[in-house]
Amino acid sequence: MLKCKINGVEVEVKEGTTIIEAFKIAGQKIAHYCWHPGLSVAGVCRLCMVEIKGQPRLQIACNTPVQDGMEITNQSEQVKETVRWGLDFHLINHPLDCPICDQAGECGLQDQYMEFGLYTPEMAEPKVKKHKVVDLGSKIVLDTERCILCSRCVRFTAEVTKTYELGIFNRGDRSEIGTFENKPLENNYALNTVDICPVGALTSKDFRFRQRVWYLQERESICTGCSTGCNIKIYFNEEGLFRIRPVYNEKVNGYWMCDEGRNIYKFVNKENRLLKAKKGRKGEWLEMEGGAAAKDVAHHFKSLDKERIALVVTGQFSNEEYEALFQFYKKNVGNDFVYHWINNKESFEDFDGLLLRGDRNPNTKGLLQKLEDYRYEQTWAHLEENLKAGKIETLIVAGPENPLWFPDLKEKVQQWGIQLSHLIWLSSAKVQAVDEVECLTWQIPLKTFFEKDGTYVNYQGLEQKSHRIATIVPGALSLSEAAHLMAGEEYKVDMAPILKGPKKNYYVHRRGYL
Amino acid sequence: MFELSKEGVEFVKKEMQRYETKRSAIIPALYKVQEENGGWVSPECVTYLSQLMDLPEVWINEVLNFYTMFNKEPVGKYHVQVCCNVSCAMNGGRELADHLCKELNIKDGRHSEDGRYTLSRVECLGSCGTAPMMQVNDKYYENLTKESAVQILKELP
Amino acid sequence: MEVKVLTKHYDKPEYRSLEGYKKYGGYEVLKKALGMKPEEIVAQVKEAGLRGRGGAGFPTGVKWGFLPNNGEPRYLVCNADEGEPGTFKDRMMMEKAPHQLIEGMLISAYAIQSKKSYIYIRGEYMEPYRIVEKAIQEAYDAGFLGKNILGSGFDHDMDVYRGAGAYICGEETALLSSLEGKKGQPKLKPPFPAVEGYLRKPTIVNNVETLAAVVTIVKDGPKEYRKYGTEKSPGTKIFSVSGNVLKPGNYEVPLGYPLKDLIYNLCGGLKPGRQLKAVIPGGSSAPVLTAEEAERATLDYECLAEMKSMLGSGAVIVIDDSNCMVDLLKVIMHFYHHESCGQCTPCREGTGWLDKIVGSIYKGEGRLQDIQLVEQVSKHMMGRTICALSDAAAMPAISFVQKFRSEFEFYVREGRSKVKEVIANA
Residues A289-342: pLDDT tens digits?
A: 999 999 999 999 888 999 999 999 999 999 999 999 999 999 999 999 999 999
Model confidence pLDDT, tens digit, residues B80-116: 999 999 999 999 999 999 999 999 999 777 899 898 9
Which residues in chain B are closer than 8 Å to A171, comparing Cβ atoms? 65-66
For A70, list phi and psi in degrees, rounded to 5: -65, 140
Q: Which of residues 17-56 of C touch B (CB under 8 A)?
A: none
Pairwise CB contact (< 8 Å): A168 & C342: yes
CA nearest to C2, candidates C222, C206, C247: C247
CA distances to A210, B156, C59 from A204, rounded to whole Å, are 10, 55, 52
The answer to whether the Cβ–Cβ distance between A169 and B62 falls below 8 Å is: yes
Residue A25 CA to residue A6 CA, distance in Å, equals 9
pLDDT at residue number A506: 52
Q: Is C84 on the interface with B (CB under 8 A)?
A: yes
Judged against a pLDDT cut of 60, whether residue A507 lies above it is answered with: no
What number is the average pLDDT over the span A466-492? 93
The answer to whether the CB of A245 falls within 8 A of the CB of A233 is: yes
Taking the Cβ of residue C123 and every Cβ of chain B, the question of whether any pair is shorter than 8 Å is answered with yes
pLDDT for A512: 44
Q: What is the DSSP letter of A496?
A: P
Could you tell me which residues are beta bridge partners of residue A13? Answer: A2
Q: Is the pLDDT of residue A509 over 90?
A: no
Distance of CA C342 to the CA centre of its chain: 22
What residue ranges of chain C are covered by domains with CATH 1.20.1440.230? 325-425
Which H helix or E strand runs over A93?
A: none
CATH 3.10.20.600 segments of chain C? 236-320
**What sign does the CA torsion over A420, A421, A425, A431 have?**
positive
Task: Say yes or no to pLDDT of A511 above 50.
Answer: no
User: How close C163 comes to chain A (CA, Å)?
Assistant: 16
SS3 state at C84: coil
Distance of alpha carbon C297 from alpha carbon A359, whole angstroms: 77
CATH of C325-425, one of 3.40.640.10, 1.20.1440.230, 1.10.1040.50, 1.10.357.10: 1.20.1440.230
List chain B residues with CB under 8 Å of A174. none
Please name which of A72, A87, A84 lies closest in space to residue A25, comparing C-alpha atoms: A72
Q: Tens of pLDDT along C130-166? A: 999 999 999 999 999 999 999 999 999 999 999 999 9
In order of their start, the domains of chain B are 6-66 (1.10.10.1590), 78-155 (3.40.30.10)
Which residue type, as a one-letter code, is found at position B61? N
Q: A510 pLDDT exceeds 60?
A: no
Per-residue pLDDT reduced to its tens digit, B19-63:
999 999 999 999 999 999 999 999 999 999 999 999 999 999 999
* Topology given in CATH for the domain delimited by C236-320: Ubiquitin-like (UB roll) (3.10.20)
User: pLDDT of A221-251, one tens digit each?
Assistant: 999 999 999 999 999 988 899 999 999 999 9
Chain C residues close to B126, C-beta within 8 Å: 82-83, 87-88, 90-91, 122, 124-125
Taking residue C15's Cβ as centre, other Cβ atoms within 10 Å add up to 21
What integer pLDDT is reported at residue A372 of this predicted model? 97
CB contact under 8 A, B65 and A170: yes
pLDDT of residue A115: 85
Listed in sequence order, the residues at least 6 apart from C417 whose beta carbon sits closer than 8 Å to its beta carbon are: C324, C326, C327, C407, C410, C411
Contact between A358 and A349 (Cβ < 8 Å): yes
Nearest CB among B27, B66, B129 relative to C248 is that of B129
Q: Which of A342, A351, A367 is nearest to A455 (CA)?
A: A367
Chain B interface, mutation test: which of A155, A168, A180, most B Cβ atoms within 10 Å?
A180
* Chain A interface mutation, best of B49, B50, B58, B66, highest count of A Cβ atoms under 10 Å: B58
What is the distance in angstroms between the Cα of B69 and the nearest Cα belonging to chain A?
13
CB contact at 8 A, A235 and A225:
no
Question: Does B59 contact chain A (CB < 8 Å)?
Answer: yes
Task: Please tell me the distance from the alpha carbon of residue C207 to that of residue C197, in angstroms, as a whole number.
Answer: 16
Where along chain C do the CATH 3.40.50.11540 domains lie? 13-225
Give how far C85 is from chain A: nearest CA, Å. Answer: 18
User: How many residues are listed for chain A in this entry?
Assistant: 514
| pLDDT tens figures, C306-317 | 999 999 999 999
Q: Do C349 and A42 touch (CB under 8 A)?
A: no
**Contact criterion met (CB < 8 Å) for B63 and C159:** no
**For chain C, which chains pass the contact test of at least 3 CB pairs under 8 Å?**
A, B
How far apart CA C28 and CA A73 sit, in angstroms, is 57
Instruction: Decide if B35 touches C, using CB distance below 8 A.
Output: no
Mean pLDDT of the region C54-74: 95
Cα nearest neighbour of B68 on chain A: A170
Chain B contact for C179 (CB, 8 A cutoff): yes
Provide the pLDDT for residue A498: 73
- Full-prediction pTM beyond 0.90? yes
Quick one: DSSP state of residue C59? B
Chain B environment of C85 (Cβ under 8 Å): 85-87, 123-124, 128
Structure confidence at residue A42 (pLDDT): 97
With beta carbons under 8 A apart, name residues in chain C contacting B63.
Answer: 164, 181-183
Q: Please give the CATH superfamily to which domain C13-225 belongs.
A: NADH-ubiquinone oxidoreductase 51kDa subunit (3.40.50.11540)
Mention every residue, 6+ apart, whose C-beta is less than 8 A from residue C239. C89, C250, C251, C252, C253, C262, C299, C314, C315, C316
Among C242, C244, C270, C274, pick the best mutation site for testing chain B contact (most B Cβ within 10 A).
Answer: C242
**Contact between chains at A165 and B58 (C-beta distance less than 8 A):** yes
**Average pLDDT, rounded, for chain C:** 96
Residue A35: CB partners within 8 Å, gap ≥ 6?
A20, A41, A42, A43, A45, A48, A62
Q: How many CB pairs under 8 A join B and C?
A: 139
Choose from A171, A176, A199 for mutation: most chain C CBs within 10 A.
A171
Phi first, then psi: give them for residue A174, nearest 5 degrees: -95, -5
Residues 144-163 of C with CB under 8 A from B: 159, 161-163
Beta carbons of A122 and C338 less than 8 Å apart = no
Taken in order of first residue, the domains within chain A and their CATH numbers are 2-91 (3.10.20.740), 98-267 (3.30.70.20), 275-486 (3.40.50.740)
Contacts of C227 (CB under 8 A, 6+ apart): none
Residues whose CB falls within 8 Å of the CB of residue B25, separated by 6 or more in sequence, listed in order: B12, B15, B16, B18, B19, B53, C181
- Looking at residue A383, its amino acid is L
A19 touches chain C (CB under 8 A): no
Q: Chain B closest CA to C12's CA: distance in Å?
A: 20
Nearest to C386 by CA among C203, C181, C183, C191: C191
Does C419 touch chain B if contact means CB atoms closer than 8 Å?
Answer: no
β-bridge pairing A440-445 and A277-281: antiparallel
According to DSSP, the residues that pair with B122 across neighbouring strands are B83
Reported residue count of chain C is 426
Backbone torsion region of residue A11, taken as left when φ is above 0, otherwise alpha when ψ lies between -120 and 50, otherwise beta:
beta
Chain A contacts in chain C segment 400-419 (CB below 8 A): none
Torsion angle defined by CA atoms of residues A300, A302, A308 and A309, in that order, rounded to the nearest 10 degrees: 60
